[in-house]
Amino acid sequence: MNLLGKKIAKWTILRQPDKPPYSARGSLLWVCRCECGNESIIPSRHLNRYERGGINAGCRQCGIRTSDGSSPDVAGKEFGTWRVIRRLGTRGEGDNRKSLWLCQCLVCSHTEELIRGSLVVSAGKEHSQVGPTDTLGLGSPQKCINCMTIEAENLVGTACGQYTICDTVPPKRLDNGVASPAYVICYCSCGRETRMTVYRWKHSQSEMCFECRDTKIAANRREKAFKDASTDTVTISRFLRRRRHDAEKRGLQYAISDEYAISLFTGTCALSGVDIYLNNTFSHPSDWKGALGPLHQLNTASLDRIDSTKGYIPGNVQWVHHLVNIAKQVMTDQQFISMCKTVTVFQKDTVNDNTWIDVRGMDRNIRAKRQIASLEIEASTEK
């Protein structure tokens, strides 16, 4: 499309540049002059967007300076959340000279010294007297430093997930007129400190530090692997072969089929109702170290005999948590439940959770824990 000589918004198309004629995205480039006299190279796709959308876009200097290059008097005018009080002079020298103005925030009445460019940007999309900061669109509004500080301080003490805000880092106005963001200092439940902007705290929905997040992801993946393996008939059959071998060594009758035992497995303990798992993936102690520490949930399912005087026969077996099986010993279900009730009544004000599920170093895991400890001792000795 030939746009030569056409006027779109505040731009008049003069010619095509010598090199390169196309932008990186393949749009045809044009040398354009703004109403204020400044020239700039603009892609045709931006000009088409201005024309179709009726956007009265111009260069950034349009509105900042008058036609003779001097800065206009804006005392008493409002730009975004700012009201200009009076001019204080200039900042910089030569081409970098900028007019400096004393401005008051309309929200908190705080006063700041701002350059004219900051006021133009702070006008945002609601003011038509200025053009965009670049060919893509208007700049971000400049906020009052005092407002940002108050906003950050109001968040102290709030919590989100494992994060709690304990302190803030106030913003400051840079030499180019842009305000640095306000930061909040958060402490994760693990004790790690994290610094993030107020915007990130409100919009990213961060609930924990990266280390805790990675640990949680690893734990979820491992738990999913346990559950998937617990419903795998091959895994259960392997477990039952070991139980059959143990029963033969102990002289106990084993008269149940794999299909019968699999039909009884529901993934929960028959006596406590907690989740139980079967897994044959991790065999070496070094594999047991991870997000969950020593994998106390590894093979937590156990095949229990309801009546310990009988063997593994139909009607006399049930799937329970292996710690429940250890505590039950040779008791019947009713005897074990009665014992648990007696302990619970006596210790009702002592324990109010299910931390017993996470007991480590018991049953078959005690060997792995000792091996891991010995490996760590050897490693520390070598150092």
Instruction: Identify the residue with better confidence: 313 or 376.
Output: 313
Residue 375 has pLDDT above 90, yes or no: no
Tell me the residue type at 372: I
Contacts 24+ apart (CB under 8 A), 162-170: 162/188, 162/189, 162/190, 162/207, 162/208, 162/209, 162/212, 163/187, 163/188, 163/194, 163/206, 163/207, 163/208, 163/209, 165/201, 169/195, 170/145
Residue 33 has pLDDT above 80, yes or no: yes
Region 171-175 average pLDDT: 81
What number of residues does the chain have? 383
3-state SS, residue 216: helix
Q: At what angle do helices 233-250 and 210-230 cross, to 10 degrees?
A: 70
Tell me the residue type at 279: N
Report the pLDDT value the prediction gives residue 132, as an integer from 0 to 100: 34
Report the pLDDT value the prediction gives residue 254, as an integer from 0 to 100: 92
Report the pLDDT value the prediction gives residue 272, as an integer from 0 to 100: 87
Radius of gyration in angstroms for the set of CA atoms belonging to the chain, rounded to a whole number:
36
The token pair at 22 is: 């196309």
Cβ neighbours for 187, distance < 8 A, ≥ 6 positions apart = 163, 164, 166, 193, 194
Report the pLDDT value the prediction gives residue 305, as an integer from 0 to 100: 92
d(CA 57, CA 34): 9
Region 316-330 average pLDDT: 89
226-243 per-residue burial string, b: 16 or more CB within 10 A, e: under 16: bbebbeeeebbeebbeeb
Report the pLDDT value the prediction gives residue 315, as an integer from 0 to 100: 92
Report the pLDDT value the prediction gives residue 23, as an integer from 0 to 100: 80
CA geometry: angle 311, 316, 318, nearest 5 deg: 115
Place of tokens 């143990």: 246
Report the pLDDT value the prediction gives residue 255, as an integer from 0 to 100: 92
The token pair at 204 is: 């990213």
Averaged pLDDT score across all residues of the chain: 75
